[in-house]
Amino acid sequence: MSDTSDRVVIGMDPHKRSATVEVMAGDETIVGGGRFDTDRDGYAAMRKYVSRWPHRVWAIEGCQGIGRHIANRLLADGEQVVDVPPKLSARARVFATGQGRKTDATDAHSIALVGTRMAGLRPVVNDEQLALLRILVDRRRSLGEDHTRMVSQLHQLLLELIPGGAKKSLSAAQAKALLATVRPRDVVGKARRRVAAELIGDLERVYQRAKQADKELKDLVASTGTTLMDLHGIGPSGAARLLVEVGDITRFPNRAHFASWNGTAPIDASSGEQVRHRLSRAGNRQINRVLHIMATVQLRNPTEGRAYFDRKKATGKTSMEAMRALKRRLSDIVYRRMTEDSAAAMAAGPGGQRGTTTGSNVTDSHPPAGASEKSLPGPAETQDRTLLPAVS
């Protein structure tokens, strides 16, 4: 958007059936606001209300969560939308009000403040391919959660039917063969066996659906042109999750910002002359989980990641410290690979670049800054260094 004096930011606190908005000018003057329903009539009334400010941008909290439904509708109508992380708006609310009490109005005000003041907010783009990936990868995660829950229930029943229970890694076929050896005579035992048989049938269906979901995800991820699945330890679900959550990798100025965003950068916990760092519990936990799975898979095989882990252990680090260092290093590798893919897509011509590379500063009143904090001293040096030479 061009720099105009009448540009406004519309901060929105979204809910399922309603949305509270506050319209803020560039000098942080409140020029409008209100509460609207999210049904057809309410949405139309909101669009009509804000039409008096032609130079506008919507700052919506949680566009990857509760705010997604309203953000998608605005994008379909050609509106410009940026995503405001809930933690960022919570901090702004505390600073603006002096306390953390929440109302829809104060939330909308804090979101508008973030949209007006902050550079580097993530633009929300209408990417059908990413939307499809998100639906499929969320479904795959749900199938995995169903599998874990069913296996836990099955283990409990088998423990009550068979002395010592079953082995830890149990497939549906193995459970069926094991259950065939059990012939309880009491009513309770028969009920346990029947429920266990039902769970095994459910598990078989989950296996089949997960297999189909993996194939569909693999084909769709491959169609994006990414090479993430070439990295050892990243499968279709991990690659899809990275594409969906990261979006445009160029929004991260460097790998340190990316590591801070995904929670693999250490946090400075030094005091006085004692210099130390601790594990970050912040960041995108879904991406952190992808990196953790990637590290675990590499540790099970004779990979460069395994060698790196062993070198860290040899220097006196504990297993947990070495694992954290490995995840931080793998974050650098993923960042480099996604950056290379993005550069290759741009070189391929129009339509090859995912997302947007335009500046996302709403007011252009502050110097550019990343959406994540810069990582602190430790494994995440800001200077360039040689990454792991081989990861597959």
Segments of the chain assigned E as strands: 8-14, 18-25, 30-37, 56-61, 81-84, 122-123, 267-268, 277-278
| pLDDT < 50 positions in the chain | 1-3, 351, 353-387, 389-392
Nearest partner of 117 among 143, 94, 88, 137, judged by Cα = 88
The three-class DSSP label of residue 338 is helix
Report the 10 Å Cβ neighbour count for 95. 10
Inter-CA distances, 369 with 25, 280, 330, 340, 359, Å: 21, 21, 24, 22, 10
Residue 10 β-bridge partners: 23, 58
> Any residues with CB less than 8 A from the CB of 118 and at least 6 apart, and which?
88, 362, 366, 369
Nearest partner of 380 among 310, 324, 336, judged by Cα = 324
CB 141 within 8 A of CB 237: yes
Q: Which residue has the tokens 């099970």?
A: 300
Q: Each residue of 249-286: pLDDT tens digit?
A: 888 889 999 999 899 988 777 777 776 666 777 788 99
Could you give phi then psi for residue 332, rounded to 5 degrees?
A: -60, -40
Residue by residue, DSSP assigns 14-61 as E-SSEEEEEEEETTS-EEEEEEEESSHHHHHHHHHHHTT-SSEEEEEE
Q: Each residue of 312-358: pLDDT tens digit?
A: 999 998 899 899 999 999 999 999 999 999 999 888 765 454 444 33
Six token digits for residue 352: 């090859």
pLDDT at position 204:
94
pLDDT at position 367:
29
On the 0-12 / 13-18 / 19+ scale of CB atoms within 10 A, 300 is exposed
